[in-house]
Amino acid sequence: MNNIYDINVKTRDNKEISLKQYKGKVLLIVNTATGCGFTPQYEGLEKLYKKYNAKGLEILDFPCNQFGNQAQGTDDEIHNFCTLKYNTSFDQFAKIDVNGQNEAPLFKFLKEKQGFKGFNGLMAKFLIPVVKKQDPNYKDNSDIKWNFTKFLVDRQGNVVNRFESTVTPAKIDKEIQKYI
């Protein structure tokens, strides 16, 4: 696949859709979990969505249970949690794998375009030992390391940046402004 718009994904209600429907939009694509220390980032994601949606930003939320079993429940249960606790209104899709044998084609594509950027901030000192235990060579591959890894895609479908779990949505604001 050479183009993000050639990729299909599954909606929460298990319908396959093409990412072509987002052509011309700025996308922030995130793997999420509802029982994670980073789950409060939903609040920041919703703020970004409210601030920039009218200018062309779409946030695509892909729950993933691969990290610490922190996205338990059905797609509907996850959606209800997010809308009730964080008032999320951006698109949420079916639960997926972002690494490994069953990884979603979308995340395979994203990882090929933007490799691991490293952890920073206070949470890095907690996250690094956990990730290192699972993958001693984590710095040397593009795998998703944890929940709330975010990819920024410009209006032409180019994957322009990757933000690891430790980067809060507020810290992405200025980067989004470049592409809006």
Largest CA distance in the chain: 43
CB 59, CB 91: distance < 8 Å: yes
CB 146, CB 165: distance < 8 Å: yes
Residue with token string 């690494």: 99
For residue 96, what is the DSSP state?
B
Own/partner long-range contacts of 6-9 (Cβ < 8 Å, ≥24 apart):
7/105, 7/106, 7/109, 8/105, 9/60, 9/62, 9/93, 9/94, 9/96, 9/104, 9/106
To 5 degrees, how large is the angle CA 88–CA 46–CA 86?
45
CB 86, CB 46: distance < 8 Å: yes
- Out of 23, 36, 83, 117, the active site residue is 36
64 tagged catalytic:
no
Any residues with CB less than 8 A from the CB of 174 and at least 6 apart, and which?
none
Active-site positions read 36
